[in-house]
Amino acid sequence: MTDFVYRNGRLHAEGVDLTRIAESVGTPVYVYAAGGIERRYREYADALAGTDAMVCYAMKANDNQAVLSLLRNLGAGADTVSEGEIRRALAAGFDPKKIVYSGVGKSADEMGFALSAGIGEFNVESDHEVDLLADVARQMGKRAKIAVRINPDVDPKTHAKITTGKKGNKFGIDFDQAMGVFKRAAAHPSLEPVGVASHIGSQITNLDPYRAAFSRMVDLVKALRAEGIAISVLDVGGGLGVGYTGEDPPSVADYVAVARDAAAEAGCKLVLEPGRRIVAEAGVLLTRVLFVKEGSAKTFVIVDGAMNDLIRPTLYEAHHPIVPITEPKPGTAKRRVDVVGPICESGDFFAKERELGPVGAGDILAITHAGAYGAVMASSYNARRLTPEVLVRGQQFSVVRPRPSYDELIGRDRVPDWV
């Protein structure tokens, strides 16, 4: 965790003391380090120097307009999964040609919007989608560039809820059906099949599943060429993991080398769609301890953040490190505690049976590695206001999404006059 370090006993994001942010913005609050996001994007860009490649940041990991703007400034493209995400990418100034539109369920309206925006590539995932996109494009007098997302049937050895490239997952087209779908697409004058795509899952910490998937993709590219379908793009998806529990995932350079080799063998331009790897470690969720409740069997640290702010622990059994923002003295005894939120659900926890130094009411904790799939999944369950977000660069910080007021929260509803 290099973006957040203790200085003079206080945890800092770059040059900013997190205590200052917690006090001025309130808790819970997400804090992102701009330099960390940029550094991780550059790891990809540097590893790809000299390669015909495009890094399309998978913005479902963190879609804040300020985060998007940082990456757009560095030349990134965007991998999107909805009209809303395409609109966010356009609003952040992304070049439409660098927008890839992925996802297993696109509506005709969304397709039409994407076509009118002039996005670069549709990643299609079924024969029905091929036909629908062909219809929508024909009616608009447009020609859509498509990549077909295949399901290479490899096990990425990650959590079941983020495994996406094995037989039986809803994603992609079974490998043995792919040729038929490409031929069907090639027969539509309004479609231009240009690529083979895959995305086998998320939080992958070993390169072997990638090697297996990419080699199947390369085989398919060659088979398609033999059938006269000229494929020029290999879109390898995202999924590279981060060290939530101190595990040591492959370096970006090693991962990119595997992808680059595959693209070279296929004679294709390379498209990558990293999400988590770029933003996860550049974010923390700050939360304040409300009470420490000593049960007979357990000690509960009850904090003001909750599952509505960060759902990953309960959704994926995800482990997030938790540290106090005031540095514990060396050798301080730790206790085994559950860190839980105020929501009326047993699933509302950040950590169970976690060794934590002494904490008391009012202390602030940083839940680390929270920059990806954190704020984007927040909700206002229990009529809690959506979590605000702060971006830090050097000595300065800005609120990049304010906490809504209670009036905004309540004022969204309408009570019919017949009630």
- What is the C-alpha to C-alpha distance for residues 294 and 354, in angstroms, rounded to an integer? 15
- Considering the complex, state which of residue 42 and residue 352 has its C-beta at the smaller distance from ligand PLP: 42
- Considering the complex, state which of residue 81 and residue 340 has its C-beta at the smaller distance from ligand PLP: 81
Centroid of chain to Cα 382: 25
Q: Which of 3, 6, 12, 1 is nearest to 330 (CA)?
A: 6
Quote the Cα angle for 300-302-303, to 5°.
145
Contact 178, 186 (CB under 8 A): no
CB of residue 360 to ligand PLP, shortest distance in Å: 36
Contact 44, 274 (CB under 8 A): yes
- Considering the complex, state which of residue 102 and residue 368 has its C-beta at the smaller distance from ligand PLP: 102
Q: Taking the CA atoms of the chain, what radius of gyration do you get in angstroms? A: 23
Residue 326 DSSP symbol: B
Quote the Cα angle for 308-70-66, to 5°.
40
SS3 355: strand
Mark residue 267 as left, alpha or beta (left: phi above 0; alpha: psi -120 to 50; beta: remaining): left
- Considering the complex, state which of residue 280 and residue 325 has its C-beta at the smaller distance from ligand PLP: 280
- Considering the complex, state which of residue 82 and residue 287 has its C-beta at the smaller distance from ligand PLP: 82
SS3 383: helix
Contact 235, 273 (CB under 8 A): yes
Residues making contact with ligand PLP (CB under 6 A):
58, 60-61, 79, 102, 199, 202, 237-239, 273-277
The helix-helix angle for 252-266 and 208-226 (nearest 10°) equals 20
- What is the C-alpha to C-alpha distance for residues 128 and 79, in angstroms, rounded to an integer? 22
- Considering the complex, state which of residue 316 and residue 381 has its C-beta at the smaller distance from ligand PLP: 316
Residue 406 DSSP symbol: H
Q: How far, in Å, are 100, 314, 369 from residue 319 at the CA level?
A: 30, 10, 9
Give the start-end residues of each E strand in 90-170: 99-101, 121-124, 144-151
In order, the DSSP letters of 152-220 are ------S-GGGB-SSTTSSSSEEHHHHHHHHHHHHT-TTEEEEEEE---BSSB--SHHHHHHHHHHHHH
CB of residue 169 to ligand PLP, shortest distance in Å: 11
- Considering the complex, state which of residue 59 and residue 390 has its C-beta at the smaller distance from ligand PLP: 59
Type and span of the H or E element at 366: strand 364-367
Q: Which tokens belong to 134?
A: 């062909």
CB of residue 393 to ligand PLP, shortest distance in Å: 23
- What is the C-alpha to C-alpha distance for residues 249 and 304, in angstroms, rounded to an integer? 32
- Considering the complex, state which of residue 172 and residue 313 has its C-beta at the smaller distance from ligand PLP: 172
Give catalytic residue positions: 344
